[in-house]
Structure 1
Amino acid sequence: MLSNVIVIVILAVVIFIALKGCIKHLKGEGGCCGGGDSVKKEPDKKLSGHIIKTRVFKIDGMHCENCSNRVKRTINRLDGVSARVNLRKKEAVVRYEQDIDDDVITKEIEDLGYKVTDCYGKV
């Protein structure tokens, strides 16, 4: 009887810890994807030229600040574009100072393991 109580207590503790982590993860506050509890925000990239278009990429699969930082960092590595990523809206707003095909941005995002579900905006 005592062994059953011990097993039940251990299971309750494990379930509590798992639920606590799941709730943080679903809120986008957890340290999934290799991040810790405190994730540094990726700095914005400044463009020096004239903005010729702005496009919004809707992205599935981002769960935390670490995910959005990966997307932002990857897009910002490309010459002639600058991204701002909104985790809550699950989107990246990309400003272009050079004519770069949207498929290039889409491929970069999808190579990270995320899915671009839509792309729209001013051309």
Structure 2
Amino acid sequence: MHRIMKIEGMTCGHCAQRVESLLNKMENVSAKVYLEENAADVDAGAGVSDEALRAVVENAGFQVTSIG
């Protein structure tokens, strides 16, 4: 399932790379993070919940403002 995550708190390329790396470490997830848009383009398997995606990003210190 394709999702767009809006993420607050990323201030540099390193932040975006960290979020992208953490999301891609999840099973059945492929993500690309765009710093300029404060967003992640995420393809996740049916078993991956929005709550799980949110938890990974927020545990890294960033805020997810929407998933759609």
TM-score range, shorter chain: over 0.9
Amino acid aligned to 2:37? K
The structure with the larger Rg is: 1
Whether the 8 Å CA contact 1:81–1:98 is kept in 2: the answer is no
Task: Quote the residue 2:55 is aligned against.
Answer: 107
Specify which of 41, 49, 56 is matched with residue 4 of structure 2.
56
User: What is the CA RMSD across the aligned residues, in angstroms?
Assistant: 0.8
Displaced runs of 4+ in structure 1, greater than 2 A? none
Amino acid aligned to 2:16? S
Amino acid aligned to 1:105? L
- In the alignment, is residue 94 of structure 1 matched against residue 25 of structure 2? no
Segments of structure 1 that go 5 or more residues without pairing to the other structure are: 1-52
Q: How does 1:1-123 map to 2 (within 5 A)?
A: 53-120=1-68
Counterparts of 1:62 and 1:78 in 2: how far apart (Å)?
20
Report the 3-state secondary structure (helix = DSSP H, G, I; strand = E; otherwise coil) of the residue aligned with 1:104: helix
Aligned-residue sequence identity (percent) comes to 32
- Cα deviation, residue 96, structure 1: 1.6
Counterparts of 2:11 and 2:38 in 1: how far apart (Å)?
9
Amino acid aligned to 1:78? M
- Higher relative contact order, structure no. (Cα contacts within 8 Å, ≥ 6 residues apart): 2
Higher strand share: 2
Amino acid aligned to 1:62? M
Whether the 8 Å CA contact 1:59–1:117 is kept in 2: the answer is yes
